[in-house]
Structure 1
Amino acid sequence: MENLPHELVSNILSRLPSRELLKNKLVCKTWYNLITDSHFTNNYYSFHNQLQNQEEHLLVIRRPFISSLKTTISLHSSTFNDPKKNVCSSLLNPPEQYNSEHKYWSEIMGPCNGIYLLQGNPNVLMNASLQQFKALPESHLTDSNGIYSLTDYASFGFDPKTNDYKVIVLKDLWLKETDERQKGYWTGELYSLNSNSWKKLDAETLPLPIEICGSSSSSSSRVYTYVNNCCHWWSFVNNHDESQGMNQDFVLSFDIVNEVFRKIKVPRICESSQETFVTLAPFEESSTIGFIVNPIRGNVKHFDVWVMRDYWDEGSWIKQYSVGSIELEIDRLMGFIGSNRFLWKCNDDELVLHEHDSQKRRDIKVKDYGKYDDSFRAVVYKESLVSLQRGK
């Protein structure tokens, strides 16, 4: 082993799953220095996960409704070549403090370099590979000027300039005196992992007034859409001029590095928000954004896929393709992978990964709590050596 070139040893070790790789830190000082080197850690994410592209790995979180049943986090793997091959193994158990009835996660977002954000009470950053949880501190910003918040929308990303992970939370504003919402107005807070603290974004940076669309529809969950160092939300601006008709839709973008917002114009494709639901998604391995349009009412039988060909050109939107006659009892869209793979949750509590081009599908059975099932989220799983413990 001592005679093997350094590059060859690095290549071999990069092929190991993170759990096995960490054990090899104990082999010798040379291997310890290699595995803990920041260059190796950063390259491991892209190199190792690229080797796994023949299989799809999904991270599934389920939170039962009753507190006596614990939240489960499991890893599911299968291949298109052998759709019946479905391996499910328990990945990690959340710390006990997250299993009380007052703790919950309503969304899971990621991966960003193998890091995930669990949004809820509390907000938590997680590296499933290293079995690390990092609960975000509560904001020290108190309600002021007779204003409070009820709804928030979170996302997160990596700032390569400062080697920092940042979480942004947008909160609606309500007036305490009248208990009415200030329509179109929000406040923003930004968390830094490096400093482990929050700061309030200047009100002047938010492009107000603007409304942010939620994911309350049963036909979709939020899909993590972090592209080109920017977080994204589907939004609209109230059109007070009745002669101009319906509201105008936008994509609201937040640049994690420069900490600025941008409004991206989109084609007018929604005749009615009561009949159509739009899901933002990353496209082409997160090089640009797109959206999927499907009807709200009834089982989803058809939908359209739009993509922004050039992320920096809001005039480059095209309808990529349409899909129809889906023979599935679909509950909601859980995610979108690459440019043609859809992750659906079906009414029988199965996950189905459907590839548009080949028309292949994989059925993935997940542990069922039946009537006790309260929260079900699934995202792509990626191995990572990125530590949430800063300075280590």
Structure 2
Amino acid sequence: MEQLPLELVSNILSRLPAKDLMKCKSICKSWFDLITNPYFITNYYAFYNDLIRHHENLFVIRRPFLSSLKTCISLLSSNVNHPKKYASELLKPPSEYNSEYKYWTEIMGPCNGIYFLEGNPNVMMNPSLRQFKALPQSHLAIASQNTYSITEYGGFGFDPKTNDYKVVMIKDIWLQKTDERQIGYWTAELYSLNSNSWKKLDANSALPLPFEIWGSSRVYTYVNNCCHWWGFIDDYGVKENVVLAFDMVTEVFRKIKVPRVCASSEEAFKTLAPFNESSTIGVIVHPVIRDVKHYDVWVMKDHGDEGSWMKQYSVRHKEVIYKVVGFYGSHHFVWNDDNEGLIPSLQQIKDLRVYGRCEGLRATRYMESLISLHRGNEFSSQFVSCTSVLDTLALPNQRRKFMVSLSQKMKTFLKICYDALVNT
């Protein structure tokens, strides 16, 4: 192999998944130097993910049980050419994060193959390398003497100028004395992976207050180094839709005006999402009322130009569809059905047998990446590795066996209860 040109070796290795490349680092020093080279790492992300673009793989979080907040993190492999062929691999966090009290509610990413999981605790992950980093507690998580927070909205992205991954967290404000919320007012803080610390965003960042954020359905909307949230301004009882944007490079907020996309806020969910290969933003308006038989899609043709919004197309409503729970490239979205199952396409309805209870299901595109979260400034307790196991609850036969076993146990339990009542 040492006689092969370096370009040929690089081309061959670039066709391997990240977990196999990690093993190849141990073959010889020249391979180690190649695989850890920043140029190879950057090119690998684009080359390999383009190579497997027809095999749409999903990164999924879900709460499979009604009685538990515990969240399952999994990689779901689905070949669009063979809709019945899929496999699910469960990523198991270390024991200290694998409990009933550790959970995640939102996925943000991929951002160069890195993901942010919002929850308890907030986490950055590179699932390709099985890297799992719990973020330190933010300053705003500690209540002041006068205020506290209940609701928070996160944003995640990359700053190419400083080669830094950042998380912005917007939190509402409640008064300790009266337990009343300051409606329309929020505070914000920014986390930097490079410094492994949080900072409060100052007045120069200019949160455009007052405003409110809609939380009905959330899809990671990261475009042109900016995070976006769907919100509104309440002007004396009249609600005007707006998009709140935060630039990860300049660290500044701005409001983007939005046209009236539906008759009233009560008639439809509005889901903000990236469009046109993540070059701009759009909104999917999906009906709450069963009589409405279509979804409207509005897109901002030129990102940042408030005058370029236009209704691009409508999609016929499918009865089984509930709402959007994820995004995996261009105009492809992941949907939730009425049974809280995962559906990857409106064109070809198929049940992936992946379920999340109590609206605890989120999914996004899985991208292979060699980018490490290591920065050399974290404590060992904050940076740990995941293990992968077979996701038995997502496999048809195993799920059926599990349900049969559960049913038998319930029958036995009910019989014991019945016998006890008869004998008393």
Tell me if both proteins adopt one fold, taking TM over 0.5 as the criterion. yes
Distance 2:65 2:54 in 1: 35
What residue in structure 2 maps to residue 224 of structure 1? 220
Aligned residue type for 1:198: W
SS in structure 2 opposite 1:354? coil
What is the aligned-residue RMSD (CA, Å)? 2.2
Residues 190 and 198 of structure 1 are in contact (CA less than 8 Å); yes or no, is this contact kept in structure 2? yes
| Deviation, structure 1 residue 51 | 0.7
CA distance, structure 2, for counterparts of residue 312 and residue 143 of structure 1: 35
Counterpart selection for 1:376 from 346, 349, 361: 361
What is aligned with 1:317? 309
Q: How does 1:284-323 map to 2 (within 5 A)?
A: 284-298=276-290, 301-323=293-315
Give the Cα separation in 2 of the matches to 1:30 and 1:344: 45
Q: In 2, are the aligned partners of 1:80 and 1:362 still within 8 Å (CA)?
A: no
Distance 1:185 1:69, change over 3 A: closer
Out of 312, 337, 340, the residue aligned to residue 346 of structure 1 is 337
Question: Distance between the aligned counterparts of 1:90 and 1:373, measured in 2?
Answer: 22
Q: Deviations over 1:303-353 (max 9, x none)?
A: 111111111322111111001142x41232112343432311212343222
Alpha carbons of 1:143 and 1:294: their partners in 2 closer, same or farther (altered >3 Å)?
same
Larger radius of gyration: 2
CA 1:32–1:339: 2 relative to 1, 3 Å: closer
Q: Which amino acid letter does the alignment assign opposite residue 218 of structure 2? A: R
Residue 218 of structure 1 is matched in structure 2 by none
1:77-116 to structure 2, matched below 5 A, reads 77-85=77-85, 87-116=86-115
Q: Describe the shift of the 1:66–1:78 C-alpha distance in structure 2 as closer, same or farther (beyond 3 A).
A: closer
Amino acid at match of 1:180: E
Give the corresponding residue for 1:118: 117
Deviation at 1:195, TM superposition (A): 0.8
Q: Aligned partners of 1:236, 1:159: CA distance in 2, in Å? A: 27
In structure 2, distance between residues paired with 1:68 and 1:252: 33
Secondary structure class of the residue paired with 1:44: helix
Q: Is the 8 A contact 1:123 1:135 kept in 2?
A: yes
State the distance in 1 between where 2:159 and 2:292 align.
37
| Structure-2 change in CA distance of 1:54 and 1:299 (3 Å) | farther
Q: Give the corresponding residue for 1:364.
A: 352
Structure 1's unaligned 5+ residue stretches are 216-220
- Shift of the 299–331 alpha-carbon distance from structure 1 to 2, 3 Å rule, reads farther
Instruction: Provide the rounded CA distance (Å) in 2 between the counterparts of 1:79 and 1:73.
Output: 20
Asked if 1 retains the 8 angstrom alpha-carbon contact of 2:327 and 2:334, the reply is yes
In structure 2, the CA distance between the partners of 1:229 and 1:364, relative to structure 1 (3 Å rule), is same
Q: What is the rounded CA distance, in whole Å, between the counterparts of 1:67 and 1:303 in structure 2?
A: 33
How many angstroms does 1:78 deviate by?
Answer: 2.2
Q: Is the 8 A contact 2:211 2:234 kept in 1?
A: yes
Specify the alignment match of 2:129 in structure 1: 130
Alpha carbons of structure 1 residues 139 and 292: separation in structure 2 relative to 1, 3 Å: same
Query: What is the CA–CA distance in structure 2 between the aligned matches of 1:265 and 1:375, rounded to whole Å?
Result: 31
1:27 positional shift: 1.0
Say if 2:264 is the partner of 1:272: yes
1:147: how far off? 1.6
C-alpha distance in 1, partners of 2:66/2:335? 25
TM-score (norm 1): 0.89
- CA shift, 1:91, in A, is 4.1
Contact 1:59–1:380, Cα closer than 8 Å, also in 2 = yes
CA distance in 1, matches of 2:67, 2:285: 36
CA contact (8 A) 1:83 1:363 kept: no
Are 2:207 and 1:206 aligned? yes
How many angstroms apart in 2 are the aligned matches of 1:319 and 1:374?
29
Q: Looking at secondary structure, tell me which structure has more helix per residue.
A: 2
Whether contact under 8 Å (2:328, 2:364) holds in the other structure is no
Call closer, same or farther: CA 1:106–1:70 in 2, change over 3 Å. closer
Asked if 1:49 is matched to 2:49, the reply is: yes
Higher deviation after alignment, 34-43 or 345-354: 345-354
**Cα pair 1:80 1:361 within 8 Å, conserved:** no
1:333 matched to 2:324? The reply is yes
Change beyond 3 A, Cα 1:299–1:113: farther
Residues 283 and 337, structure 1, Cα contact 8 Å, conserved in 2: no
- Residues 1:148 and 1:70: Cα distance change in structure 2 (over 3 Å): closer
Matched letter for residue 339 of structure 2: D
Distance 2:315 2:341 in 1: 21
Structure 1 counterpart of 2:351, which letter?
Answer: D
Q: Secondary structure at the match of 2:344?
A: strand
1:11-50 aligned within 5 A: 11-50=11-50
State the shift of 1:4 in Å.
2.1
Q: 1:135 to 1:318 in 2, by over 3 A?
A: same
1:337-384 CA-partner distances (Å, limit 9, x unpaired): 4343231121234322225xxx34443222x58xx7772221111111
